[in-house]
């Protein structure tokens, strides 16, 4: 089974590329983030024609997540248990489904904006709710993973130059502690395995030639429990999809599973 995660930065803008990538990559399950559309505007019919069911959680603003699957889609959950609100809104940042014997969460963690900003506190509270929501599945025997845009670089090696991030979000001790606590539920970062690039960044800003200069960050992650991790046969960033006109500023992260492994 091939499972992937991709912040598409507007599914409406990226639909043609998304459909072409699904056909080319032969992905079975895809977790999407930053849909930037509401549920009614989600392009369910073109995706269904391509063979994919969709579980969508979206409201038309800057957020929105989905799980696409061509191997079944059941037991859908939208939102986190006890998830915090921001400015009175429970933002659509998490959706889960069972797909072909694997349970996945697609998550779009809040950005945090600035250290000390109320959005930064919201980000940490959101991480806490995510940890509580997934703890039971993370400790279970069913292959399970949380995939998405975490808006945190786990280590200094996961940014192009840590000196450029002094005092900034995405690399703070508080954010990395939140990630460590999430891993503490029984999850492992599955991407540091045989990789097709030495520095597998997943995000490059559109500005200042960041992509050609490889000034990127690894903030799109796949955290799997023990049964999921034991089944991983390959994991990589599809850097080629970041190239060309109309690309998202994120690249897909792809994980291959042999479900009879272990």
| 250 labelled ligand-binding | yes
Residue 160 appears among annotated catalytic residues: no
- Distance CA(200)–CA(237), nearest Å, equals 6
Tokens of 77: 């959950």
Which of these is catalytic: 98, 122, 236, 250? 250
Q: Which of 137, 149, 158, 238 is an active site residue?
A: 149
69 DSSP β-pair partners: 29, 53
In 3D space, the residue among 251, 133, 122 whose CA is nearest the CA of residue 181 turns out to be 133
Give the C-alpha separation, 112 to 101, whole Å.
Answer: 34
Residue 108 known to be catalytic: yes
User: CB of 50 within 8 A of CB of 15?
Assistant: no
Q: Is 149 a catalytic residue?
A: yes
Q: Is 220 annotated as a binding residue?
A: no
Maximum C-alpha span of the chain? 47
From 108, 122, 223, 236, active-site residue: 108
- In the chain the first and final C-alpha atoms are separated, in Å, by 15
Answer yes or no: is 111 a known binding residue. no
Residue 57 assigned to a binding site: no
DSSP string, 186-244: T-EE--SSS-SSSS---EE-SSTTTTTTT-EE--EEEEE-HHHHHTEEEEEE-GGGG-S
Do the annotations mark residue 87 as ligand-binding? Answer: no
* Contact of 123 with 109, CB cutoff 8 Å: yes
- Residue 53 is assigned to a ligand binding site: no
Active-site annotation, residues: 108, 149, 250
Binding site for Mg(2+), residues? Answer: 7, 34, 149, 151, 249-250
- Binding site membership: which residues? 7, 34, 149, 151, 249-250
């Amino acid at each position: 089974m091939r499972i992937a995660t991709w912040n598409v930065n507007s599914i409406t803008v990226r639909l043609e590329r998304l459909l072409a990538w699904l056909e080319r990559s032969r992905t079975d399950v895809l977790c999407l983030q930053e849909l930037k559309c509401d549920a009614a505007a989600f392009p369910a019919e073109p995706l269904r024609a391509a063979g994919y069911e969709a579980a969508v959680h979206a409201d038309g603003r800057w957020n929105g997540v989905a799980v696409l699957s061509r191997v079944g889609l059941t037991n859908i959950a939208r939102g986190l248990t006890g998830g915090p609100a921001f400015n009175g809104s429970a933002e659509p940042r998490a959706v889960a489904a069972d797909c072909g014997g694997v349970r996945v969460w697609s998550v779009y963690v809040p950005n945090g904006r600035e250290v000390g900003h109320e959005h930064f506190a919201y980000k940490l509270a959101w991480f806490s709710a995510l940890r509580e929501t997934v703890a039971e599945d993370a400790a279970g025997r069913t292959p399970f993973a949380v995939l998405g845009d975490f808006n945190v670089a786990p280590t200094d090696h996961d940014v192009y130059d840590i000196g450029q991030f002094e005092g900034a979000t995405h690399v703070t001790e508080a954010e990395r502690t939140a990630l460590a606590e999430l891993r503490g539920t029984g999850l492992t970062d599955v991407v540091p395995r045989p990789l097709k690039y030495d520095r597998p960044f997943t995000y490059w800003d559109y500005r200042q030639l960041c992509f050609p200069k490889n000034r990127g960050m690894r903030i799109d992650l796949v955290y799997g429990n023990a049964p999921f991790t034991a089944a991983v046969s390959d994991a990589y960033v599809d850097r080629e999809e970041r190239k060309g006109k109309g690309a998202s500023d994120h690249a897909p992260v792809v994980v291959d599973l042999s479900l009879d492994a272990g």
